[in-house]
Amino acid sequence: MSEDAQDVVLIVEDDPSILMVLSAYLAGEGYRVLQAENGEQAFEILASKPHLDLMITDFRLPGGISGVQIAEPALKLRPDLKVIFISGYPAEIRDTGSPITLTAPILAKPFDLDTLQAKIRKLLA
């Protein structure tokens, strides 16, 4: 269980089964989970929610927007927001050249939920 049950996590993932598993797992760990299936939904949440601690985002998303393209403006608006990238193609994330990719954890799919939880705990500590 998260020490602070108020930690709010936004998951941006277009695969419904992955979104469901991640959401259920993190909710069970005590996080408040918000979900977005694409960039448009992610930007709506980022614009409307005053408090977010962490964003977990897939890299390849529908509509021609990437997780990096969501994270960059999100971090400009919320400098304290933590980001974790998840992708079946982790090298593509690094290839973007975005400074965010130098510090944000990148988890290659498939990944272990315990590994994800360890990354989250480290970021939110």
Alpha carbon distance, N-terminus to C-terminus of the chain: 13
pLDDT of 1 above 50: no
105 preceded by cis ω (within 30°)? no
Residue with tokens 């975005």: 98
Residue 37 CB contacts under 8 Å (≥ 6 apart), including other chains: 12, 13, 14, 16, 19, 62
What would the pLDDT profile of 30-52 be if each residue is shown by its tens digit?
999 999 999 999 999 999 988 99
For residue 5, what are its two tokens?
Answer: 């049950």
What would the pLDDT profile of 55-82 be if each residue is shown by its tens digit?
999 999 999 899 999 999 999 989 999 9
Task: Give me the domains of the chain, ranges plus CATH numbers.
Answer: 8-120 (3.40.50.2300)
Q: Identify residue 13 by its one-letter amino acid code.
A: E
